[in-house]
Amino acid sequence: MNRACTFKSDGIMRFITTPVRVSAANDEERTIEFTALWDTGAKTTFISDKIIQECKLVPSGKTLHVSGGRAEPFETEMFIISVFLPNGVVVSPLRIGRVERLTKGDILLGMDIISLGDFAITNQNSQTIFTFCMPSTHSLDFLAENGPSESSK
């Protein structure tokens, strides 16, 4: 059975954020809601200090991480969490790193989670619609659906 969630805005969204619930991987009975930033440019998921403190997470080690935003690799603490997506799917256990600062939201959902399903954004009539389904159900191909455009000829 697939599970989907859809979010609609009153205007064009510059950032895709949704509510998610997070817990320590060994404490899924105690989840806390946070704001997630969906980031297709991030390879992996990261959490803020706010999540670490509120979920009382304990580091499971450290790792070197390379980020497109930094010139040099950086060391980060790792944590094992469960993420409860807005479509009802739980991704667990998930080994993720800590990030010093997030400008939007408390958790950055990277391609390690996004690539588990289908992710689409449309911006018709000045309204952004974001939808995510997991597991993947079918391929989207706007060119095939609408026929060849001038730019594809």
Q: What is the pLDDT of residues 68-125, one digit of tens each?
A: 555 677 778 999 999 999 988 999 999 999 987 788 999 999 999 999 999 999 999 9
Check the CA dihedral 30-32-38-42 and report its sign. negative
Token pair listed for 32: 């806390």
Residue 11, pLDDT above cutoff 60: yes
Q: How confident is the model at residue 134 (pLDDT cuts 50, 70, 90)?
A: very high
Q: Which residues contact 127 (CB under 8 A, 6 or more apart)?
A: 8, 9, 10, 11, 12
pLDDT of residue 122: 94
Question: Which range scores top for mean pLDDT: 15-24, 54-63, 136-145?
Answer: 15-24
Domain 15-120: which CATH class? mainly beta
- N-term to C-term CA, the chain: 39
Token pair listed for 2: 């697939």
Three-state SS at 133: strand
The average pLDDT across 39-68 equals 87
Domain residue spans of the chain: 15-120
pLDDT of residue 152: 52
Element (H, E) at 51: helix 49-54
Element (H, E) at 109: strand 107-109
**Stated pTM of the model:** 0.85
- In order of 47, 69, 117, the CA distances from 91 in angstroms are 14, 26, 12
* 126 or 64: which leads in pLDDT: 126
Q: Give me the amino acid identity at 1.
A: M
The average pLDDT across 28-55 equals 94
